[in-house]
Amino acid sequence: MDKMWAGRFEKALDKQADDFNSSIHFDSRMYKQDIIGSVVHAKMLGDKGIITESEKAEIIDGLGGILEDIESGKLPFNMDAEDIHMFIESELTKRIGDSGKKLHTARSRNDQVALDIRLYLMMECEEIGRLIKKLVEAIKDKASENTDAIMPGYTHLQRAQPITFAHHILTYAFMLMRDFDRIKDASGRMMSQSPIGSCALAGTTYNTDRYFEAERLGFSGISLNSIDGVSDRDFCLELMSAFSILMMHLSRFSEEIILWSSWEFKFIELDDSYTTGSSIMPQKKNSDMAELVRGKTGRVYGNLMALLTTLKGLPLAYNKDMQEDKEAIFDAVDTVKKCLGIFAPMIATMKTNKVNMKKAAGEGFINATDLADYLVKKGMPFRTAYKHVGEIVGFCIKEGLILENLPIEKYKEFDPLFDEDLYNEISLETCVNKRISAGGTGPQSVKAQIDYITEFLK
């Protein structure tokens, strides 16, 4: 395929250099956005009298035919093309002649690609938002099934206080809702400034209407500095930052799923559809989907760091280095979508083992704080109560006892404020149910959290 810049050069581009320079093998996914942007650009050119009405109609009709043929499979991408923009322009010119050559009037590939990638990412952000909501819903449903499942809550991966499984996994729903908001905010900023019309860097001598194009493409405004319009990739960085935080949340959740499904915990069992076996150990049931999500988190981090590094030393305005933005952001988008897509059904089909959770909660003295609170309610300063309970826990460990089966007589030796009612106060059910503070593990608080998430999903 002839290069549009071939007139300046006496020799053809070396084949290896041409392949190295070409981006169509990855930017072809933006074909629809490129055509949509070109249609609107043609309308603006025609309305402003820069091209004739008949030329405008020819261009728009020709672009529609190209879109239809690409989507039906009749028109494969020509991998000899430098990029998707030149492929479509070349195909248009082939179909309608010289009118097709007028489409690029008053624009550059610099502002064209800046437009296309924004439009493409906006579409992908909507899909990612839908996938986040699907996972949040799966978490909410699993929590609703397990509001009575008592388990140990952990700090430092040491058993700390009794909570419900519902309370624990709802934490991830709130993380994901923040991720949803971050991506939505980033999308809003991305669509606040249309770059088209910035041209190569300095604007154009034609009497164009940038606001016309921006409005019809869904932007709320235009980039007010043409150099910024073509050299800005902040929106890619912001999205990948949001994606990295989202993946970090999925990775933390994956880590707990991996732990919980191990024989050491056995709090949950993943469905066979989302686990694999071993090539040599027939007893194994591996949580490979969760492990892959955990592993792919580093891939998204890497894409963010790659683009930050690419951009950090670039002078204004456009540089070919910026072609590297697409593979990084595309890979991040694909990875996030795959991870979210596998996570929601993995959670939805996951089974919980309430018996094992309750058993684990009964060990480790996780009701010790409640025992101290028992003394505080009888007038003892908390720090004094804390010391007494620490001594009691130390005694129980030596004697192989737990707080629930230490005789009342022994309790009274530590302090006469203890009475028979302490056993009810330190039962796991009471410890959970009496936590009435907003956001806590108590039943009413957990119900309020589920109700809040339900509203978010609406």
- In 124-192, the DSSP E strands lie at 150-155, 158-164
What average pLDDT does this structure show over 261-290?
Answer: 93
Q: How far apart are CA 43 and CA 171, in angstroms?
A: 49
Confidence band, pLDDT 50/70/90 cuts, at residue 278: confident
Which pLDDT belongs to residue 11?
A: 66
Cross-strand pairs, 351: 269
Give the Cβ contact number of residue 368 at 10 Å: 19
Active-site residue 156, yes or no?
yes
- Nearby residues of 145 by Cβ (< 8 Å), 6 or more positions away: 352
Whether the CB-CB separation of 336 and 247 falls below 8 Å is answered with yes
Q: How far apart are CA 198 and CA 228, in angstroms?
A: 9
What average pLDDT does this structure show over 177-206?
Answer: 97
Confidence band, pLDDT 50/70/90 cuts, at residue 29: very high
Phi-psi region of 106 (alpha: psi -120 to 50; beta: other; left: phi over 0): left
- Summarised one tens digit per residue, pLDDT across range 378-433 is 999 999 999 999 999 999 999 999 999 999 999 999 999 999 999 999 999 999 99
Confidence band, pLDDT 50/70/90 cuts, at residue 4: low
Half-sphere CA count of 126, side-chain side, radius 13 A: 6
Which pLDDT belongs to residue 14?
A: 72
Which pLDDT belongs to residue 22?
A: 85
Q: How far apart are CA 25 and CA 163, in angstroms?
A: 51
Which pLDDT belongs to residue 444?
A: 96
- Summarised one tens digit per residue, pLDDT across range 293-305 is 999 999 999 999 9
Which pLDDT belongs to residue 343?
A: 98
> Which residue out of 72, 156, 273, 279 is catalytically annotated?
156
Question: Looking at the predicted structure, is the pLDDT value of residue 7 above 80?
Answer: no
> Which residue out of 54, 220, 262, 278 is catalytically annotated?
278
Strands 158-164 and 150-155: antiparallel
Active-site residue 278, yes or no?
yes
What average pLDDT does this structure show over 257-265?
Answer: 96
Please report which helix (H) or strand (E) contains residue 268, including its range: strand 268-269
Which pLDDT belongs to residue 1?
A: 57
Whether the CB-CB separation of 305 and 5 falls below 8 Å is answered with no
Helix axes 84-96, 31-47, angle to 10 degrees: 60
What average pLDDT does this structure show over 273-288?
Answer: 89
Q: How far apart are CA 171 and CA 160, in angstroms?
A: 17
Mean model confidence pLDDT for the chain = 95
Which pLDDT belongs to residue 292?
A: 97
Cα–Cα distance list, 162 to 339, 364, 376, 444 (Å) = 31, 10, 19, 16
Question: Looking at the predicted structure, is the pLDDT value of residue 207 above 90?
Answer: yes
